[in-house]
């Protein structure tokens, strides 16, 4: 075959196979109701916290007015318990009329007017996990169209009250149905979480073709144990999970719980750092109206967000589990930069971790190092320099590294774009 023709044919095949909505080339960011507000439908006694249009408007106001939107947190996502217990006369889902008196299209307008996007929740089964009407195979098309007509920008499709056969058919069917509406709608699939999260039950190649992100594992809860369980599972299985991620297709270890009740500040920094390593979607589930300044500073750390949003979209992994209880995580970034996270599982006192970049697999050369949480540039390191990082119990030290001159490259003629001299320059490629 003529090579040009072959290239066209290949491009055509890829275009028809892949979820072709062009969305979420970097991990999506925003706010999601579930972990913090659950299925609180008691608007009579708890009007400001119940699942209602007021809650989503409040959060949209906060995203728009408190600097979140500019950092990339643009989705406001409804989770379970939003709908009425009955479909309407035409068989369409409808919002609970008491809690969403203005209706979802009006809420979508409110959110769009503030430069934000609206996400909604459905379930491929007879009922949602909370017992509300589900999307059965015969209602996939009508539900996709209803969401598009309402101006919805993202759908999380859960998998309670379902079975394997329905999921095998339904998840790809919804992908096609969303595409067929012509409205770009990001698609979050809970499918793998219902299949045990791992191959051979889970086909990550297929998921990358039909979904923009997917929940692989258990629900996050408001506790450090829950965060650790998730980190352990993703790290243990990283060889199977890591290759599945890339622009437009992300593993989702679930929501950020920073700003709630279960994490200390150290643990909050750890969740944020490890979610950045994992190229995870950043959906906060917290109360943005009452967030502490400390939690806000972690969630709004520009360099950290830039690392999470790196355009190469390569998921990082755990490099080492030391006997001391320190674990080292690494993620490659664009423009030859990279990030290292030193994470301590110790429970005694700050631990002085000593190593060299060479032993961590870095190429010979000199490296600029920027400490992501202190905001300080460290003295330049060579690959052989012994460094010491002081890591607090259940905390992290997170570095952004940028090579200055690689010896090999010097010999062959150094690339001037690698000659960074100031922290602004180190951080530049990843700053928003
Ligand atoms: C499942 C999901 C959660 C949440 C609830 C809602 O448990 O995994 O993220 O959506 O259902 O009922």
Q: Is 371 in the pocket of ligand 1 (CB under 6 A)?
A: no
- Place 406 in a pLDDT band, splitting at 50, 70 and 90: low
Grouping H, G, I as helix, E, B as strand and the rest as coil, residue 380 is strand
Mean pLDDT of 106-128: 99
pLDDT of 177 reads 98
> What count of Cα atoms within 13 Å lies in the side-chain half-sphere of residue 183?
18
Q: Across all residues in the chain, what is the average pLDDT?
A: 92
Number of C-beta neighbours around residue 55 at 10 A: 23
Q: Is 149 in the pocket of ligand 1 (CB under 6 A)?
A: no
The pLDDT tens digits for 193-217 are 999 999 999 999 999 999 999 999 9
In this model, does residue 14 exceed pLDDT 80? Answer: no
3-17, 41-55, 238-252: segment of lowest average pLDDT: 3-17
Question: 400: Cβ–Cβ under 8 A, 6 or more apart, which residues?
Answer: 303, 307, 333, 337, 338, 339, 369, 370, 372, 426, 427, 430
The C-alpha atoms of residue 339 and residue 172 are separated, in whole angstroms, by 35
Q: Is 219 in the pocket of ligand 1 (CB under 6 A)?
A: yes
Contact 397, 271 (CB under 8 A): no
> Most distant CA pair in the chain: distance in Å?
74
Grouping H, G, I as helix, E, B as strand and the rest as coil, residue 43 is coil
Q: Is 357 in the pocket of ligand 1 (CB under 6 A)?
A: no
Give me the DSSP letters along 77-91: E--SS-B-SS--TTS
Give me the DSSP letters along 284-315: E-S-TTS--HHHHHHHT-HHHHHHHT-TT---
Question: 183: Cβ–Cβ under 8 A, 6 or more apart, which residues?
Answer: 148, 151, 152
Active site residues: 158, 219
Ligand 1 atom with the smallest distance to the CA of 156 is: 10
**179 phi and psi angles, rounded to 5 deg:** -60, -40
Contact 319, 360 (CB under 8 A): yes
In this model, does residue 135 exceed pLDDT 60? Answer: yes
Question: 412: Cβ–Cβ under 8 A, 6 or more apart, which residues?
Answer: none
Q: Is 53 in the pocket of ligand 1 (CB under 6 A)?
A: no
For domain 317-427, is the CATH number 2.60.40.1180?
Answer: yes
In this model, does residue 262 exceed pLDDT 50? Answer: yes
Nearest CA to ligand 1 atom 3: 219
Candidate from 40, 78, 80 with most ligand 1 atoms within 8 A of CB, to mutate: 80
Distance 240 CA to ligand 1 centre (A): 24
pLDDT of 20 reads 75
Grouping H, G, I as helix, E, B as strand and the rest as coil, residue 341 is strand
Candidate from 32, 34, 127 with most ligand 1 atoms within 8 A of CB, to mutate: 34
> CA of 358: how far to CAs of 44, 341, 352, 374, in Å?
61, 16, 18, 24
In this model, does residue 13 exceed pLDDT 70? Answer: no
- Place 423 in a pLDDT band, splitting at 50, 70 and 90: very low
Residue extents of the structural domains in the chain: 18-308, 317-427
The pLDDT tens digits for 407-421 are 444 334 333 332 233
Candidate from 79, 133, 159, 221 with most ligand 1 atoms within 8 A of CB, to mutate: 79
In this model, does residue 136 exceed pLDDT 60? Answer: yes
pLDDT of 17 reads 43
In this model, does residue 287 exceed pLDDT 90? Answer: yes
pLDDT of 34 reads 99
Among residues 144, 146, 154, the alpha carbon closest in space to that of 118 is found at 154
Q: Is 123 in the pocket of ligand 1 (CB under 6 A)?
A: no
Question: 370: Cβ–Cβ under 8 A, 6 or more apart, which residues?
Answer: 303, 376, 377, 378, 399, 400, 401, 402, 423, 426, 427
Distance 107 CA to ligand 1 centre (A): 22
In this model, does residue 248 exceed pLDDT 90? Answer: yes
Distance 95 CA to ligand 1 centre (A): 18
97-106, 129-138, 188-197, 411-420: segment of lowest average pLDDT: 411-420
Superfamily of 18-308 according to CATH: Aldolase class I (3.20.20.70)
Burial class of 114 by CB neighbour count within 10 A (0 to 12, 13 to 18, 19+): middle
More reliable by pLDDT, 337 or 15 = 337
Q: Is 129 in the pocket of ligand 1 (CB under 6 A)?
A: yes
Question: 163: Cβ–Cβ under 8 A, 6 or more apart, which residues?
Answer: none
18-32, 38-52, 100-114, 364-378: segment of lowest average pLDDT: 18-32
Rounded to a whole number of angstroms, the CA Rg of the chain reads 23
Mean pLDDT of 125-145: 98
pLDDT of 431 reads 32
pLDDT of 10 reads 42
The C-alpha atoms of residue 146 and residue 141 are separated, in whole angstroms, by 9
Helices (H) then strands (E): counts for the chain: 16, 16
Contact 162, 127 (CB under 8 A): no
Burial class of 407 by CB neighbour count within 10 A (0 to 12, 13 to 18, 19+): middle
In this model, does residue 153 exceed pLDDT 60? Answer: yes
Q: Is 220 in the pocket of ligand 1 (CB under 6 A)?
A: no
Q: Is 35 in the pocket of ligand 1 (CB under 6 A)?
A: no
The C-alpha atoms of residue 33 and residue 287 are separated, in whole angstroms, by 9
Distance 89 CA to ligand 1 centre (A): 27
The C-alpha atoms of residue 212 and residue 21 are separated, in whole angstroms, by 9
Mean pLDDT of 172-185: 98
Percent of the chain surpassing pLDDT 70: 89
Mean pLDDT of 387-413: 80
Distance 301 CA to ligand 1 centre (A): 28
Contact 270, 343 (CB under 8 A): yes
């Amino acid at each position: 075959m003529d090579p040009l023709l072959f290239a066209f044919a290949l491009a055509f095949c890829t275009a028809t196979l892949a979820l072709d909505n062009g969305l979420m080339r970097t991990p999506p960011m925003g706010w999601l109701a579930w972990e913090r507000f659950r299925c609180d439908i008691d608007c009579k006694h708890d009007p400001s916290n119940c699942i209602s249009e007021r809650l989503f408007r409040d959060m949209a106001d906060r995203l728009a007015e408190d600097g979140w939107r500019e950092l990339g947190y643009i989705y406001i996502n409804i989770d379970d318990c939003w709908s009425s217990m009955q479909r309407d006369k035409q068989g369409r889902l409808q919002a609970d009329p008491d809690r969403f008196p203005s209706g979802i299209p009006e809420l979508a307008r409110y959110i769009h007017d503030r430069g934000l996007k609206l996400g909604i929740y459905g379930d491929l089964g007879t009922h949602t996990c909370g017992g509300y009407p589900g999307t059965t195979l015969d209602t996939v098309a009508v539900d996709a169209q209803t969401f598009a007509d309402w101006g919805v920008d993202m759908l999380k499709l859960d998998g309670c009250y379902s079975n394997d056969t329905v999921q095998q058919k339904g998840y790809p069917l919804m992908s096609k149905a969303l595409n067929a509406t012509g409205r770009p709608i990001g698609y979050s699939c809970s499918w793998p979480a219902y299949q045990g999260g791992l191959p051979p039950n889970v086909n990550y190649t297929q998921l990358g073709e039909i979904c923009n992100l997917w929940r692989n594992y258990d629900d996050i809860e408001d506790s450090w144990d829950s965060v650790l369980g998730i980190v352990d599972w993703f790290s243990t299985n990283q060889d199977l999970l890591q290759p599945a991620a890339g622009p437009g297709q992300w593993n989702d270890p679930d929501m950020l719980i920073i700003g709630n009740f279960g994490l200390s500040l150290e643990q909050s920094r750890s969740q944020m750092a490890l979610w950045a390593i994992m190229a995870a979607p950043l959906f906060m589930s917290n109360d943005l109206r009452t967030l502490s300044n400390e939690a806000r500073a972690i969630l709004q750390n520009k360099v950290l967000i830039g690392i999470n949003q790196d355009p190469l979209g390569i998921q990082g992994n755990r490099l080492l589990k030391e006997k001391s209880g320190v674990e080292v995580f690494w993620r490659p970034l664009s423009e030859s930069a990279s990030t290292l996270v030193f994470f301590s599982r110790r429970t005694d006192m700050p631990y002085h971790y000593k190593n060299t970049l060479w032993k961590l697999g870095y190429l010979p050369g000199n490296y600029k190092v920027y400490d992501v949480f202190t905001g300080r540039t460290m003295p330049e390191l060579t690959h052989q320099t012994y460094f010491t990082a002081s890591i607090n119990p259940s905390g992290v030290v997170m570095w952004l590294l940028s090579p200055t001159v690689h010896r090999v490259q010097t010999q062959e003629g150094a690339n001037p774009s690698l000659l960074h001299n100031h922290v602004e320059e180190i951080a530049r490629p990843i700053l928003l």
